[in-house]
Amino acid sequence: MTPLAEKLGPPQAKAHLSVARLARYWYVACRSGELRRAPLPSVVIGTPLVLYRDAAGRPGALLDRCPHRNVPLSLGRVADGGNLECSYHGWQFDNTGRCRVVPGLCDSDGDTRGRRVAAHAARERDGFVWVWGEPDVEPAFDPPSYTPPADAGYATIVRKLDFPGTLHATAENALDVPHTAFLHRGLFRGSGKRNTIHAIVRRGSDRVETEYVGEPRPEGFVGRFLAPQGGVVEHWDRFVLPSIAQVEYRLGAENHLMVTSLCTPIDDFTTRMYAIVAFRLRLPSALVRPVVTPLAMRILRQDAAVLRAQSEAVQRFGGEQFASTEIDLLGPHIWRLLRDAEAGSLPPAGGELSTVREVTFEA
């Protein structure tokens, strides 16, 4: 988090910017299908990278700059031996960043510091290529998995969208219930009588979640379409460091909807989201998919538009100023988790969750 010196509003209200730069984690750099034979440029937490596949098809991730004459390596090609070749002078690098070939140079030493490229660990899992944010280190753990089992009867939709907002703002938006009755009025909530909801917020070392108890099925088109019979839903919202936002709904034994947003900070005010919508419903998935996909994209675009306006205001006024209430359930906890992780040691994953707040509100 980068504090700013400017002040907004009353003298006691200090401006700040919720920008998280957490390097010691995995982030999605692209979907597996996006990374083919040609090198692919990508940006993760402000670092320009080039992704490519070696001779065995394994993903590699290097800093997107040749140390020789600063030409982007993403303009090059994968040579026959599986090394990444620069388009300018043909220098070749393996996936550790070591220079293996300098054409025309008889006595080549790839261990010379000036001929190395910073390398980021890369792994392929569940249809995504993940990269470790810190260069030239062996990650302490593997990338997470958020894809439901293929044999569990789930249909899955995956979409990519860039949000013009900080990681904190984007994650809070994905998990914020009160805004849905206004920004998404009629689609998700806000089309009828407001529901009274009891929320329990629980926090662990690397995550925070809210369980909504006794929540009636949300009004609005989406709720009526997915659960026309109505009823009480089981509902959880979760954030897991560094950038995973997850919304889960259950209605009886047959209806289960989970939206997992894998968020990758591109720069301070751009967050790329890979949204995985997994659902198992009483209705046949062939009927649901053509309706859910455009609705989900419409909701996501509404969120992107308001995040753009929010980001423009933050930059115009030189920082953020929050006036939170008890029903801003997850945003302050996400901010604290990000800040603590950036300032200190890597928190242990998982662990027991402790209740930190209970609140009743209308939505």
The answer on 206 and 105 residing in a single domain is no
The answer on 175 and 31 residing in a single domain is no
Confirm if 160 and 274 have CB atoms less than 8 A apart.
Answer: yes
pLDDT attached to residue 27? 97
Distance CA 74, CA 51 (A): 8
Q: CA torsion sign, 281 to 283 to 284 to 287?
A: negative
The answer on 124 and 179 residing in a single domain is no
Contacts of 287 (CB under 8 A, 6+ apart): none
Per-residue DSSP letter, 356: E
Check residues 190 and 320 and name the one with the higher pLDDT: 320
First-to-last alpha carbon distance for the chain, in angstroms, is: 31
Distance CA 334, CA 340 (A): 10
pLDDT attached to residue 256? 86
Q: Which two tokens stand for residue 296?
A: 């989900």
The answer on 207 and 353 residing in a single domain is yes
Is residue 2 scored above 90 in pLDDT? no
The answer on 321 and 173 residing in a single domain is yes
Contacts of 344 (CB under 8 A, 6+ apart): none
Structural domain includes residue 305: yes
The answer on 349 and 295 residing in a single domain is yes
Confirm if 167 and 263 have CB atoms less than 8 A apart.
Answer: yes
Structural domain includes residue 337: yes
pLDDT attached to residue 220? 66
pLDDT attached to residue 206? 93
Distance CA 44, CA 131 (A): 8
- Strands 270-280 and 59-63, sheet pairing: unpaired
pLDDT attached to residue 107? 64
The answer on 349 and 276 residing in a single domain is yes
pLDDT of 243-263, one tens digit each?
999 999 888 777 888 999 999
Q: What is the mean pLDDT of residues 230-234?
A: 78
Looking at the 3D structure of the chain, how many domains does it have?
A: 2
pLDDT of 76-109, one tens digit each?
999 999 999 999 999 999 999 999 999 988 665 5
Structural domain includes residue 31: yes
Please compute, for residue 306, the number of CA atoms within 13 A of its CA located in the half-sphere on the CB side.
15
The answer on 188 and 122 residing in a single domain is no
Structural domain includes residue 272: yes
Check residues 10 and 281 and name the one with the higher pLDDT: 281
**The length of the chain, given as a count of residues:** 363
The answer on 326 and 184 residing in a single domain is yes
The answer on 204 and 331 residing in a single domain is yes
pLDDT attached to residue 227? 63
**Phi, psi values for residue 203, rounded to 5°:** -135, 140
Check residues 340 and 35 and name the one with the higher pLDDT: 35
> What is the CATH number for 103?
2.102.10.10
Q: What is the mean pLDDT of residues 158-167?
A: 94
Q: What is the mean pLDDT of residues 172-187?
A: 89
pLDDT attached to residue 64? 98
Confirm if 337 and 241 have CB atoms less than 8 A apart.
Answer: yes
Residue range(s) defining the domain that contains residue 224? 155-362
pLDDT of 145-158, one tens digit each?
887 666 677 888 89
Structural domain includes residue 48: yes
Per-residue DSSP letter, 349: S
Distance CA 21, CA 44 (A): 10
The answer on 173 and 32 residing in a single domain is no
> What is the CATH number for 181?
3.90.380.10
Structural domain includes residue 329: yes
**Percent of the residues in the chain that have a pLDDT greater than 70, as a whole number:** 85
Mean pLDDT of the chain: 86
Is residue 286 scored above 90 in pLDDT? no
pLDDT attached to residue 150? 61
Is residue 342 scored above 90 in pLDDT? no
Q: What is the mean pLDDT of residues 28-54?
A: 96
Is residue 3 scored above 50 in pLDDT? no
Question: Lowest mean pLDDT: which of 62-66, 100-104, 294-298, 301-305?
Answer: 294-298
Q: For the full predicted model, state whether its pTM sits above 0.75.
A: yes
Structural domain includes residue 4: no
Structural domain includes residue 14: no
Q: What is the mean pLDDT of residues 341-351?
A: 74
pLDDT attached to residue 14? 41
Which residue(s) pair with 303 in the sheet?
none
Q: What string of DSSP letters covers 19-39?
A: -----SSEEEEEEGGG--SS-
The answer on 159 and 117 residing in a single domain is no
